[in-house]
Chains A and B, each alone.
Chain A
Amino acid sequence: MGCKAVNYELVAGFETHIELATKTKIFCGCTTQFGGEPNTHCCPVCIGLPGTLPKLNRQAVRYAIMAGLATHGEIAEISKMDRKNYCYPDLSKAYQISQLYAPLSIGGYVELSNGRKIRLHHIHIEEDAGKLIHQHGDTYVDYNRGGVPLIEIVSEPDIRSIDEAREYVEKLQQVMRYIGISDCKMQEGSMRCDVNISVRPVGSEKLGTRTEIKNMNSINNIAKAMEYEFERQVDLIESGGQVVQETLRYDDATNTTSSMRSKEDAHDYRYFRDPDLVTINVSKEEVEEIKSTLPELPTEKCNRYVEELSLPEKDAQLLTKYRNISEYFDKACVGVKSPKTVANFIIGQIFSRVETEADKEVFAVAVSPEQLNELVKLLDSGKIRNNLAKSTLEKMLDSGKGALEFLDESDMGGLDENTLNELCRQAVESNPKAVEDYKNGKEKAIKAIVGNVMKNSRGKADAALAESKIKELIG
């Protein structure tokens, strides 16, 4: 883009749908389980037969309040359900029960690592639609997913780059998983994003005409689609054209966007209050009670690790990525002198055995955090040395047994000074070549001699102390 007269800025806002982890649907007792034979998780309410009456799932409301609180939103004391009317086979009633005029959570924000806050407009609850399969020109409808509770998180157009977009989605995913209200699996559709995107000359305050890319189901596709759409809009403006407000579909096979519908035939949803559902009142006491059940959130946790435990930012991020890892770390840290040592064991040896992101999220490790805690305390007290701790941890990870299974009295007795002196003397004598190299200025040669001491002491010697003694001996 170097040749262009004007530099353009990307402006994006997100509408994120997240399926709530309730056992039952939002307005009936049918299961929300993913999959299942078509049209077997259904009843007259969720297929919208006339004369049925929806009844709101208390847990769905609670989860949505948790989502609002975890994103710093204000919970509305009074909220109401509305009907969003549109005629399409994924909705059997020809309307979706949603919230427009009085949503459950208002405002809030998601803070990014660069310090910018992406403001949220609101969060509302609604029902999911059924699944359509288009085949031979006809449409097959499965209503198993119809009526699964969703929250829609609507952001302000505060996102300014694809990196910010990526982080925003990851942060939402992380927070919602921490508070346990959704598994947020984009590939299974329990988290989906609509991206509103426009461009404007850098420095301009006025928003450009936006397009909306519907139903993005992976973070990589979001990034690719936004990149494509940004270039497309800039090229259009540069060549004297105008961006048309329209809804787009992204095709990841061709990495292009194409029009689904334009503004002229945009939906007129004719929202109105759903007369079948009564007002939701949430008292201040209820909000406080729900707030008190929320776990420490990842951003706060990460900051605490850096500020209070003096962990490097990078370590803190790795440890707080999933709730299970951070809870493991917290337990393993109880009463230890150096949390950094615990972090090193987890990020190094333990992570090397938990390879995939899915496994990291579960974090079922053979060694319990209490067992790791015990090992680190042995190290803290000087009873064992780092090398021995490392090799012991390997054995613990192989067997699931505690440190004391592999360490006997002699391992933990430390090394008296005479024995260390003797081992150093022997090491110098048996490594004439290394001694010669060191004397000739090859600093690193001393490591071989220290290594010999470590080996003969079975890892019990203090390597730094041994090195200074060896230097004394060589002269």
Chain B
Amino acid sequence: MTCPVLFERLVSMVTREDVENIALLSKLFVPEEELDGLTKSMQEIIDFADTINNAPSADDSFDNINNLSNVFREDEVIPSYSNEEILSNAPEQAEDHFLVRNRE
């Protein structure tokens, strides 16, 4: 029995290099000894996504679970939050700004 392409199992392989590259792009430092473990975890996450990707759906143009499109808001101003509220979760702040320290 031949399967339609849609139902074929697609496999994505995650390599150590992928994890290193993603860490670099995300500005994260990953110790050498954690790389293998993280590669395995990442593979599991990707496998899970593959399972969803490969789930049969009746319609090719399937876009979202509620089949919604054109969800808009009107261009009406809503009062913003105060500076104090906005900065209340900031790890560091100074002079009404979020502060990002230079680590170099």
Contacts and interface: CB of A to CB of B under 8 A. Distances in A.
B71 A23 contact: no
Given A138-B101, A139-B100, A42 B74 contact: no
B95 interface: yes
B12 interface: no
A142 B25 CA distance: 23
Contacts of A58: 72-75
B63 A278 contact: yes
A94 B102 CA distance: 17
Contact of B72 (A57, A137, A140): A57
Interface residues of A, number: 46
Contact of B83 (A31, A38, A280): A38
A279 B27 CA distance: 31
Interface in A127-165: 133, 137-143
B77 A24 contact: yes
Interface residue range, chain B: 20 to 34
Interface string A262-287: 00000110100001011111000000
B81 interface: yes
A61 B72 contact: yes
Contacts of A38: 83, 95-97
B2 interface: no
Contact of B89 (A30, A49, A267, A277): A49
A55 B83 contact: no
Contact of B102 (A60, A137, A277): A137
B98 A39 contact: yes
Nearest to A80: B63
- Give me the 9 closest cross-chain CB pairs, A-B, nearest first: A29-B78, A140-B97, A59-B75, A58-B72, A141-B98, A139-B100, A279-B69, A137-B102, A55-B73
Contact of A280 (B25, B69, B94): B69
Interface of A: 22-24, 28-31, 37-44, 47, 49, 55-61, 85-87, 89, 94, 133, 137-143, 267-268, 270, 275, 277-281
Give the interface SS of chain B, mostly helix, strand, loop or mixed: loop
Contact of A138 (B25, B78, B100): B100
8 contacts: A30-B80, A43-B81, A47-B86, A55-B72, A85-B25, A87-B25, A278-B64, A279-B64
Given A42-B86, A268-B21, A270-B25, A141 B76 contact: no
Contact of A22 (B68, B75, B86, B87): B75
Nearest to A57: B75
Nearest to A85: B25
B25, B63, B76, B87: most-surrounded residue (chain A CB, <10 A):
B25
Contacts of B74: 58-59
A345 B94 CA distance: 57
Given A28-B78, A58-B75, 13 more contacts: A39-B86, A39-B87, A39-B97, A40-B83, A42-B81, A58-B72, A58-B73, A87-B27, A139-B100, A140-B94, A141-B97, A270-B25, A278-B64
